Chain A
Amino acid sequence: MNLAEGVQIVSLGVLALMMLGSALGVVLLKNIVYSAFLLGGVFISIAGLYLLLNADFVAFAQVLIYVGAVNVLILFAIMLVNKREDFKVVPRIWIRQVATAAVCFGIFALLGTMVVTTPWAISTEVASGDSSIVRIGLHFFSDFLLPFELASILLLMALVGAIVLARREFLPEEDLTPGETEALTLPERPRELITTGRSDSTIQ
């Protein structure tokens, strides 16, 4: 065993430990902020595993998308929600916890047996390394064109949805009667509430 192989085995062990440890932390810790930060650790460790598998592009994309975008947004959402609430103690909480653990372990066992029993067609070719990005691009625009486009439409829909949810219309200043608005807020046009079908202003 030469130096490179030794480094690979050691890093595989370290990454696997890091991933399992932080994944367990995500599930088991009570503090949701810790869970969110540990989720970043899980994503980083997975990116490291991809690197060990010679999949550079996937690894960097994993860091860029999952750590840089998804995890930051999760943290954002957690930190912007300003809700301090003590959860009520549920009687016989242990039944739920045991049931959850059983279901999780069942899924793990099923997936584990599937991974072990499936005869994987493992390619013996040398990993394409740096040229993998070209091959991924070719696949995107040939045999995987439809899933690729569908995914982008999904993202577009999410984008439009976010804008519809967050959009506010501000009244122009000349329409205002003095004393109508609170201090330091811009006057907003009341929005139609989709669930009730009534105007927002009548509820107020």
Chain B
Amino acid sequence: MNPGIDLQGNFIESVKGFGIPPGAARALWLPLPMLIVLVAATVSVLVVVWLERKISAAAQQRIGPEFIGPLGILAPLADGLKLVFKEDTTPSKADALLFTLGPAIVVIPVFLSYLIVPFGQNLIVSDVGMGVFLWLALSSVVPIGLLMSGYASNNKYSLLGGLRAAAQSISYELPLALSVLAIVMMSNSLSTVDIVQQQSGYGILGWNIWRQPVGFLIFWIAALAECERIPFDLPEAEEELVAGYQTEYSGMKFALFYLGSYVNLTLSALLFAVLYLGGWEFPVNVGTIANLIGVSENTPWLQVVTATIGIGMTLLKAYFLIFLAILLRWTVPRVRIDQLLDLGWKFLLPVSLVNLLLTAGLKLAFPIAFGG
């Protein structure tokens, strides 16, 4: 395993060069990756919102945003500005404290989950040994925020929306966790870096999507349901519930929900890419190409190129999945709440259990192909 580029070490060394003690240099480094990830996640939301507008327009044979910047690229920024300057109201009979706390509890776990998304061998905020498990645990906190904002709004539509959101989130967490468990079983590790490494070496042929044809479908359906995307956006089904738990929200608090849902979609797409599409791996193994043209894997410029390709590939795969999600949103009708729960409990759960069992059996039978 090559050490790769040690950004942290270089940064600390260069700060020390200015005559700052090592402890302080380390403390200066600490917030940097977090800040970068926070900003990157927020910027990625702008891109997703723009994509959503453009693709939905194309799906309906419209042009979409056109005049705000070239190709309407500044439209999401205008959206954001509008939300920032909107009046922030709290209904007079609402529970002001819980009303404010709710959106925060929804957004914080989603951003926290970016800790474990790897963009390269060392391009990860923290290589937590139980990365995927951390993500599952954090995503289970979100329904509390939804219930809180639904209850605090003092509005029956909000309460129903919050309850629906919690029910949906609990039901689809199980198939999600079970399909992730099948991957973990093949990778012998919960760490996202290890999961990608286990898929590397054979280019596109080594990716988990070939070994988990059922698992990836379950994961994607469950992830869409967790993100409350159409066809599963029942908590905010506007024909029935006005806007669900978001009904009473405006201004920045509404923007937090909006941001949270798109960040969550991006996160799910990134994790899908990590779990099933080989993460930062190029479809052809970069190491083999380097050997073909006779360059050592430890050459500095090659490492920079590999890191760039890694970030590019991760984002490319994630945005391809987001494209799929947007396309689904504008082609598939919304399901009913009983159909949603039936699908989760009576179909996806048994299928994912069988998938897990099959994976375990195949792992014992063909340890070479299934990571024994």
Chain A residues close to B by CB (< 8 Å): 2-3, 33, 37, 40, 44, 56-57, 60-61, 63-64, 67-69, 71-72, 75-76, 79-80, 129-130, 133
Contact = CB atoms under 8 A, between A and B. Distances in A.
Contacts of A75: 144, 147, 151, 166
Interface stretch (B39-47, B130-138, B357-365): B130-138
Contact of B129 (A40, A56, A63): A56
B230 interface: no
Given A56-B130, A79-B159, A64 B23 contact: no
Contacts, number: 68
Interface of B: 23, 26-27, 98, 128-130, 133-134, 136-138, 140-141, 143-144, 147-148, 151, 159, 162-163, 166-167, 170, 173, 190-191
Nearest to B128: A56
A56 B131 CA distance: 10
Contact of B23 (A3, A61, A79): A3
B241 to A, nearest CB: 15
6 contacts: A33-B151, A67-B140, A68-B170, A72-B144, A76-B163, A79-B162
A187 to B, nearest CB: 17
Nearest to A62: B137
Contact of A61 (B137, B147, B167): B137
A37 B137 contact: no
B133 A69 contact: no
B332 to A, nearest CB: 27
B27 A3 contact: yes
B240 to A, nearest CB: 14
Given A76-B166, A79-B151, A68 B140 contact: yes
A69 B144 CA distance: 10
Given A60-B130, A71-B144, 10 more contacts: A37-B98, A56-B128, A60-B133, A60-B134, A64-B140, A67-B140, A67-B144, A72-B144, A75-B151, A129-B129
Contacts of A44: 141
B175 to A, nearest CB: 15
A51 B71 CA distance: 48
B336 to A, nearest CB: 15
B151 A69 contact: no
B303 to A, nearest CB: 26
A67 B141 CA distance: 6
A68 B141 contact: yes
Contacts of A79: 147, 151, 159, 162-163
The 8 nearest A-B residue pairs measured at CB: A68-B140, A130-B129, A64-B137, A63-B137, A60-B137, A75-B147, A60-B133, A72-B143
Nearest to B170: A72
Contacts of B148: 37
A63 B170 contact: no
A37 B98 CA distance: 9
Given A56-B130, A61-B137, A64-B140, A72 B173 contact: no
Contacts of A76: 147, 163, 166-167
A68 B140 CA distance: 5
A79 B153 CA distance: 13
Nearest to B160: A79
Interface centre among A57, A71, A79 (most CB of B within 10 A): A79
A153 to B, nearest CB: 18
A37 B167 CA distance: 17
Given A2-B23, A68-B137, A79-B163, A40 B130 contact: no
A191 to B, nearest CB: 21
B151 A63 contact: no
A80 B10 CA distance: 56
A2 B23 CA distance: 8
A71 B26 CA distance: 38
